[in-house]
Every structure is written in C-alpha cells, then in structure tokens.
Amino acid sequence: MIAAYIDQIIMFSVGLYASLVGFRVVAPPSKDPAQAQLWLSKFGIFFRVGGPLMIGIAIVLAAAQFFGIAG
C-alpha cells in the first residue's frame, strides 16, 4: 500500500524541506553563514513559492491515486 504512494511521499518531503528553507526555519546547507544569506536572498522566493506548491501537488496526486482518478 505504501509503495504506491512513494512518489507523492518524496514530493511532499521535498516540498516541506524547501518550504522550511525558504521561510528560514532550517538553514540552507552551507558552511559560510554570509554565503547562505546571499543564497537565500537570491533563491528564497523560489523556495517559499515552490515548496507549498509541491506539497499541494503531492496531496492532489495522492488523493487522485487513492480515489482511482489517476492514470
């Protein structure tokens, strides 16, 4: 049962991590804090938008697969 939803689980997890990085709850993987702040100022908006979007898509796809709508 869980194997059928592995794609959605991975997509949900990546979306959650991207959201946490984008909203600065989790620091991005970097050894230099100044470089991390520069990187976040450059790409943070993509993570703040893309993370929740991926979570939403994962939930919709999982629901479609559960109800037999997905192909």
Three-state secondary-structure class, residue 24: coil
Q: What is the mean pLDDT of residues 2-31?
A: 94
Model confidence at 52: pLDDT above 70: yes
Q: Return d(Cα 62, Cα 46) in angstroms, integer.
A: 24
Q: Given this model, what pLDDT does residue 70 score?
A: 63
> Does pLDDT of 46 surpass 80?
yes
Predicted structure pTM score: 0.88
Quickly state the pLDDT bin for 31 (edges 50, 70, 90): confident
Averaged pLDDT for residues 32-58: 95
Backbone CA torsion sign across 28, 30, 33, 38: negative
Eight-state DSSP code of residue 25: S
Cα 1 to chain centroid, rounded: 23
Two structure tokens written together for 18: 């991207």
